[in-house]
């Protein structure tokens, strides 16, 4: 079932109302998981970094060994077009997708140019800040030699889903997951930051999690605001001693963490500042390139 109830789907050259079927039962993606996707947002009349999200799905498809049937400019233009089918102030989740249809004679790998392409745009409210909680997952992130971690690949999300399901079963919103070296990587669905002595720390990209577009944007905004941001290897001990924690991702953009494990973190300062800076950037329509 879809995430939202008000949906439009672009497929095979036209827009369709609702959750349109796009993948056949024998498609490679249906049974061997070759789909890649991206996620972007419209909220309060803005669509921040839509060009970067449009470019990333092309990179993801190439990393999965597929030949994209469209280019980034086409993806960007269609996303803009689809958003105009909703109210200008609607909160939307924008999801372009590329997948393989055919298998090679060896069955497992896909025929590179047998790709399908679709866009799904759903009405989805922006989550409110104030009650987001984190625990620690027993499940780790794979190394680049274990999985196609450089792509935003649907096949990676089975692991993310069990991280999230386990956290929610224990009464938390999400969970930190470790990489195979025992360092904090990210949560099931977001990049993560912590604050200590007025400085912001975040896991350094090491191939075991995506260096998110919103993550990069927030780092740049904080540094421009005079706040030190350090990308480094972090342990659970670092997070246990953190004064604040906040996360970044496409669903909520910037979300302060109210509770880590059983510890209430109090009112966020730098986390709230990061959220305000991001909103100011998004609403300004600057569209600046990432550093």
The answer to whether residue 112 scores a pLDDT higher than 70 is: yes
Does one domain contain both 111 and 165? no
Retrieve residue 163's tokens. Answer: 């991280």
Q: Which of 34, 31, 77 is nearest to 54 (CA)?
A: 77
Q: Band of the pLDDT at 287, cuts 50, 70, 90? A: low
CATH number, domain with residue 46:
3.30.470.10
Tally of domains within the chain: 2
Picking from 99, 123, 147, the residue at the C-terminal end of a domain is 123
Paired strand residues for 133: 259
Q: What is the pLDDT of residues 262-273, one digit of tens each?
A: 999 999 999 999
Domain interval for residue 205: 133-284
Does one domain contain both 44 and 112? yes
The answer to whether residue 1 scores a pLDDT higher than 60 is: no
CATH number, domain with residue 215:
3.20.10.10
Q: Which of 284, 270, 283 is nearest to 225 (CA)?
A: 270
pLDDT of residue 288: 54
Average pLDDT over residues 1-22: 89
The answer to whether residue 99 scores a pLDDT higher than 60 is: yes
Does one domain contain both 149 and 225? yes
The answer to whether residue 195 scores a pLDDT higher than 50 is: yes
Does one domain contain both 99 and 186? no
pLDDT of residue 90: 96
Q: Band of the pLDDT at 105, cuts 50, 70, 90? A: confident
Q: Is residue 75 part of a domain?
A: yes
Q: Is residue 184 part of a domain?
A: yes
Q: Is residue 128 part of a domain?
A: no
Q: Is residue 61 part of a domain?
A: yes
Average pLDDT over residues 147-155: 94
Average pLDDT over residues 176-204: 97
Paired strand residues for 36: 98, 153
Q: Band of the pLDDT at 290, cuts 50, 70, 90? A: low
Q: Is residue 252 part of a domain?
A: yes
Q: Band of the pLDDT at 5, cuts 50, 70, 90? A: confident
Does one domain contain both 155 and 263? yes
Does one domain contain both 78 and 181? no
The answer to whether residue 3 scores a pLDDT higher than 80 is: no
pLDDT of residue 291: 56
Q: Band of the pLDDT at 4, cuts 50, 70, 90? A: low
């Amino acid at each position: 079932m879809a995430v939202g109830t008000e949906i439009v789907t672009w497929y095979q050259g036209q827009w369709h109302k609702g959750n349109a079927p796009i993948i056949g039962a024998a498609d490679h993606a249906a049974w061997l998981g070759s789909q890649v996707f991206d996620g972007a947002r419209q909220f309060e009349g803005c669509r921040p970094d839509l060009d970067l999200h449009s470019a990333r799905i092309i990179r993801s498809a190439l990393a999965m060994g597929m030949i994209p049937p469209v280019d980034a400019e086409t993806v960007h233009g269609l996303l803009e077009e689809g958003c105009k089918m909703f109210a200008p102030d609607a909160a939307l989740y924008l999801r372009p997708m590329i997948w393989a249809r055919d298998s090679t004679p060896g069955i497992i790998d896909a025929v590179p140019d047998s790709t399908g392409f679709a866009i799904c745009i759903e009405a989805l409210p922006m989550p409110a800040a104030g009650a987001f909680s984190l625990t620690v997952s027993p499940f780790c992130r794979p190394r680049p030699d274990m999985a196609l971690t450089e792509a935003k690949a649907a096949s990676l999300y089975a692991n993310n889903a069990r991280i999230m399901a386990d956290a929610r079963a224990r009464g938390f919103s999400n969970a930190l997951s470790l990489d195979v070296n025992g360092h904090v990587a990210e949560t099931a669905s977001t990049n993560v930051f912590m604050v200590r002595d007025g400085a912001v720390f975040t896991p350094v990209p090491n191939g075991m999690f995506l260096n998110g577009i919103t993550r990069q944007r927030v780092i740049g905004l904080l540094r421009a605001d005079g706040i030190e941001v350090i990308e480094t290897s972090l342990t659970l001990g670092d997070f246990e001693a953190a004064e604040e924690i906040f996360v970044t991702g496409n669903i909520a953009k910037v979300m302060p963490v109210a509770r880590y494990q059983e510890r209430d973190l109090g009112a966020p300062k730098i986390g709230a500042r990061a959220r305000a800076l991001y909103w100011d950037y998004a609403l300004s329509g600057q569209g600046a390139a990432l550093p």
